[in-house]
Structure 1
Amino acid sequence: MASIPHDMLTQADRLSQRNGVQPDALHGAMADLDISTNGSATPTETTMASEATSVTEADNEIDGHALALDMQQRCRLLLDELEQFQAYLKEEGKEHSAELRALKTEVQSEMRVIDKIAKNPSNPRGIQSLHSSNLSFFTAVWDTAKKCSGILALRRYFYFHGRKPHINGTVSTSALGRKKRSAVVDIVSQDGLEFVKVSTILEKRIIWDLAKAGWVGSDSSEEAEQSDDDDGPEGILKQVEGLLKASRETRVRYRHPTVRLVFTRISRTPRTKEVAQILQQIRNMGIIVQTSEDILDSPPVADVLDRLAPGNCYRLTDVLNLDCTVLLAFVSDLSHGRVEPQDWHNGMISTQREMEAKKPLLPSKLWPVCESRKLVCTKEAATRMQEISGIIGTPAEKRRTALLLGLDDTVEMTNEQILEEFQTLTEYEIPANWHLPVEVVDVDLAALKSNLPPSVEKVSEALSDMNRSVFVYGWASGFTTLSSNRAVAKEIESIIEENRTSDEVGPDIWPCSLRSLVGKEKERRGAQDMLPVVSS
């Protein structure tokens, strides 16, 4: 088939060519899918344009009352599951770690509209409003979210800057020339490392969006190009472009989030080759594309609460580097059973005692993380640990310290013998594959830093001798560092981002809760706080 001369192309035709779709093929696809090309929407297209509903029957064939009741029930179920997740996060002390309010507010707003329509379900305008409801879309977002891990936000806006070209064609870098944009990420998962966009769009709608763009605005080639970049219609490709830009301006633990696009109503093998080309173009942009065949049944939220909660998506190395705070957690009396409250316990110990009563740290988190992994620590961390234990530790805490680090008479003990004695000092069942003692490593900082990015110098300047040995060693060795020192972890990340010269990745730090040594009354009252928690 002969191609159409460029001066005879509509704006939609030019847009289609840039997207890899030939104009004549586009018009043919529109005809195949019953889409009008006269610039106005047919009744079929009007119904199709609502992504949020799968209802296609005519209004007069719908039982408005039954439809309203069904949508009310679905709305309540969605809100109930969101509230279950919120309650779980609060119970785990993570209620501020995940942003769920945006989606919940949108669903509540939808619920109010549905409730109002349900009072007069025979009203044709009300039934049409039910058809154009966003409930199906919100349900699709939540169903997709329940199959994710480490959710940080639902329906969150990310902002980025689009640069508008000057008249002479150069790119403006001034504040006035930078136009702030936003992209809505439906699900921020993998503890921030994944952006998920859910689309309930139909094949017809994709073709329609490409065509509709041609009958809006000017036909000039220059303006068409600008429209596609800045002010064009919000089609699927525009959304994808926004997601990519938001990802490129976002870093989580030194990395850009990956982008995943979930098409709930488009097949892996679309009916039209034009839609297949669009999907392939999206894949070529580095985006993971899932279609209807990839969508599994959504589980009840009660079955997946732990997986959905933030903080469970770290990929740990086979060797774990322990800082002083984690060594203390392994030997603290607080971590090994009930500790009776005493009037001389400070506020930190009282808080940790309450946390342990709700969810013991070792059985629920630290031991599962250690599994059969090799455990190491730097000489500086081990020395500091022994100092603290020697000054304020109870007899049981001191003995656990010796067993943990292989000190004194434990030097000749086997792993089995160490675990056997450790079991007598705890109320919990010790895992049989816990590798003790921890290997103490004497590090050469100068040699380690020579293999790291230039930002290591700035990081080193900000840290104490002990923390410098711990985090630089973990960074240079490529080992995950377990630490309760969240302030230092955040400071390291900030320094690296401020001094970034390329895509360098900083130390991999896995955060956990703090446990102090209980100590004895006399020593606790007279000793200064020796825990390296907030100091650098």
Structure 2
Amino acid sequence: MENNTNDEARDASSTTRISATTLSSRLIHHCRFLLAEIDIFQNAIASRFRRHQQQQHLVEMRLLRSNVASELRTLERLAADTQALVNERAKKGDNDDDADLEMREGRIIHTLRSSNLSFLTAVWTIAKERCSGVVAFSKRFYWDKDENKVVDGKEDRQAKPPNKDKKKSAFVDIVYGNGEDWLKVSTVNQSRLLFEMAEKGWEMDSDEEEDEASSTRNDQGKELPINQDEEDEDQLELITMALDMIRASRATRVRYRNPRVHIMAPKLEEGKVPEIDRVLNTIRSYGVTIECKIQIRDIFTEDKIYETCDPNSITENDLPLSTMLPNPFEKFTHVINVDCTLLLALVSDLSHVQNIEPSPNFHRAIIRQIEVEDELPLLTTELWPAVVGRQLVCTQEAAKRMKEIVYTIGTETERKRTAILLGEGDMEGLDKDTLLGELRKLSDHSVPEKLILPMKVVDAHAEIGAAMKQNKFPPVISKVTEILTDINYSVFLYGWASDIVTISSNKTVVRQIEATIEDNRGYDNTLEGPKIWICDTARSLIGKEKHRKP
């Protein structure tokens, strides 16, 4: 966590002197308030998302909370020291001018004013007021490309290397935009930045600035003006921060793209000091957006309305959860292409029937799925939110394979749900409301009114063939097709050709597709593959025999 204690102490020196008792009380209240809001946010994550085995990773905020909690402990210790001084002064009498007590209180006040709480508050406030789809706080990214593996916007934790070089990394304060945006908060002020520029002899005339900015823009992200393998001790900290974030961003892909890099500097003001403006323009020339002069609550000043608020009274209604919480479906297309793995999940008894008693005849994978389903039902917590209100399609190959499995090992209810889902057999020709009514008879869960039935079965090869003739696919398509089976070829290439989202639980194939695209990207920073959303778990059909592979 970035520590800005020197800047905070310097900024606070101009404020009216107050007692250590008052200041410690004010900061403790503020810290408890901040901690309460963070806990409310964490609880909201746990209650809204089903990935129970990865909830702590869905929005990574362990380090942020840990730093705030640590700050609270420090403030409480300082409050105890302050109270000890008050007691000691009381014993000596109010009229006793004790230089030692004054000096000790001065040290406590200085420590309080140097608290990193101001920086932590700035990060949290900016996240609340400026960031949507927050997925991480205080996260380190590396610019060795093998160290940032991402699938469908989520870090591939199975691919972590054993060692990481922190010298080749950037520390990001807020990851938002569902992973596509990185933000760093800098609390450096005008005087501190100017002092650092003078100290390091940092000078740049307008001609040099123009040449460097032009060179950076024209390289299309292939190079940076400073060699990443060399440490430049004379470089400004703010510029080093921007360069490191850009390097790490260029080594990271979220849905095939490099994250956008942002810096917010609340205490800098543009348009007043030409030297500072040049620094800001240099940072922007690297492709970083930087915003200055942001209003954030000053924790060192009195705010009677705020300070009378009880941290224990904070509720979800006090936070902008509708924007802050990640939304995995934000960029879903109106039409959704459903893979065979999730077609089976949509008709399985495991998905629709509650309180299934495990049987000795069940495969161990089925028993595990029953346990997971009892805790967090797949339909209501993940699949319904993903598909409701969208037209569902599947390829002929996916539908054929699904029906082969259902009519071989499926139960009678699983077969009937298949007919309802596809509008076939006894369900052929029935309208949406009738099909929904039939599905409700076979489900213990509430079936949404806006679920669109029946699903449309499409001719994938016709669409893929047309896309091939029109050169809609990038050249990497030849490499991707080499790794796909016939059914996966039809599913994933149809979604790609149609430019619609494909939903699947087949993580292995998705990783192979994304890895193939990255391995063959070259210098094409705009190359993108199929839009795929991964459902972390699926559901098998309950009719599987114990020794049959799941």
Instruction: Give TM-score scaled by structure 2 length.
Output: 0.72
The match for 1:286 is: 287
- Is 1:66–2:8 an aligned residue pair? no
Once superposed, what is the RMSD of the aligned Cα atoms?
Answer: 3.7
Matches within 5 A, 1:228-377: 230-266=232-268, 271-272=272-273, 274-276=275-277, 278-292=279-293, 302=316, 303=319, 308=324, 312=328, 314-343=330-359, 344-377=361-394
2:57 to 96, 100, 104: 96
Q: Report the Cα offset of residue 54 of structure 1.
A: 5.2
Q: Which amino acid aligns with 2:7?
A: S
Matches within 5 A, 1:443-522: 443-444=460-461, 445=464, 448=467, 451-501=472-522, 502-503=524-525, 504-520=527-543
Gaps of 5+ in 1: 1-46, 162-177, 531-536
**Could you tell me whether the CA contact under 8 Å between 2:125 and 2:296 is conserved in 1?**
no
**Could you tell me whether the CA contact under 8 Å between 1:193 and 1:256 is conserved in 2?**
yes
1:144 to 111, 126, 133: 126
**Could you tell me whether the CA contact under 8 Å between 1:49 and 1:205 is conserved in 2?**
no
The match for 1:204 is: 191
Q: Size of the alignment, in residue pairs? A: 457
Q: Report the Cα offset of residue 360 of structure 1.
A: 3.1
The match for 2:12 is: 55
- Between stretches 232-241 and 475-484, larger displacement belongs to 232-241
C-alpha distance 301-308 of structure 1, shift in aligned 2 (>3 A): farther
Q: Report the Cα offset of residue 378 of structure 1.
A: 1.0
Q: Which amino acid aligns with 1:199?
A: S
1:107 to 55, 59, 68: 68
Q: Report the Cα offset of residue 183 of structure 1.
A: 2.1
The match for 2:417 is: 400
Q: Report the Cα offset of residue 507 of structure 1.
A: 1.2
The match for 2:138 is: 155
C-alpha distance 411-276 of structure 1, shift in aligned 2 (>3 A): same
Q: Report the Cα offset of residue 448 of structure 1.
A: 4.5
Q: Report the Cα offset of residue 125 of structure 1.
A: 2.3
- Give the match's secondary structure for 1:368: helix
Q: Report the Cα offset of residue 304 of structure 1.
A: 5.3
**Could you tell me whether the CA contact under 8 Å between 2:181 and 2:259 is conserved in 1?**
yes
C-alpha distance 483-456 of structure 1, shift in aligned 2 (>3 A): same
Between the aligned partners of 2:386 and 2:6, the Cα distance in structure 1 is 49
The match for 1:13 is: none
Matches within 5 A, 1:147-186: 147=129, 148-160=131-143, 180-186=167-173
Between the aligned partners of 1:48 and 1:443, the Cα distance in structure 2 is 60
C-alpha distance 383-313 of structure 1, shift in aligned 2 (>3 A): closer
C-alpha distance 142-58 of structure 1, shift in aligned 2 (>3 A): closer
**Could you tell me whether the CA contact under 8 Å between 1:153 and 1:187 is conserved in 2?**
yes
Gaps of 5+ in 2: 83-103, 145-164, 209-224, 299-305
Between the aligned partners of 2:72 and 2:60, the Cα distance in structure 1 is 20
Identity %: 37
The match for 2:108 is: 126
Between the aligned partners of 1:184 and 1:420, the Cα distance in structure 2 is 52
- Give the match's secondary structure for 1:68: helix
Between the aligned partners of 2:474 and 2:520, the Cα distance in structure 1 is 10
Between the aligned partners of 1:433 and 1:257, the Cα distance in structure 2 is 34
C-alpha distance 52-125 of structure 1, shift in aligned 2 (>3 A): closer
C-alpha distance 296-138 of structure 1, shift in aligned 2 (>3 A): closer
**Could you tell me whether the CA contact under 8 Å between 1:72 and 1:111 is conserved in 2?**
yes
C-alpha distance 179-54 of structure 1, shift in aligned 2 (>3 A): closer
C-alpha distance 313-273 of structure 1, shift in aligned 2 (>3 A): farther
- Between stretches 181-190 and 69-78, larger displacement belongs to 69-78
C-alpha distance 383-304 of structure 1, shift in aligned 2 (>3 A): farther
Q: Report the Cα offset of residue 512 of structure 1.
A: 1.7
Q: Report the Cα offset of residue 196 of structure 1.
A: 0.8
Q: Report the Cα offset of residue 187 of structure 1.
A: 1.2
**Could you tell me whether the CA contact under 8 Å between 2:362 and 2:546 is conserved in 1?**
no
Between the aligned partners of 1:391 and 1:52, the Cα distance in structure 2 is 73
**Could you tell me whether the CA contact under 8 Å between 1:145 and 1:187 is conserved in 2?**
yes
Deviations 1:373-419 (A, max 9, x none): 22111111111111111122222211111111122232322223322
Between the aligned partners of 1:64 and 1:181, the Cα distance in structure 2 is 41
C-alpha distance 347-245 of structure 1, shift in aligned 2 (>3 A): same
Between the aligned partners of 1:144 and 1:119, the Cα distance in structure 2 is 31
- Between stretches 492-501 and 205-214, larger displacement belongs to 205-214
- Give the match's secondary structure for 1:471: helix
The match for 2:78 is: 117
Between the aligned partners of 1:226 and 1:447, the Cα distance in structure 2 is 46
C-alpha distance 446-215 of structure 1, shift in aligned 2 (>3 A): closer
Between the aligned partners of 1:514 and 1:154, the Cα distance in structure 2 is 26
1:213 to 190, 200, 216: 200
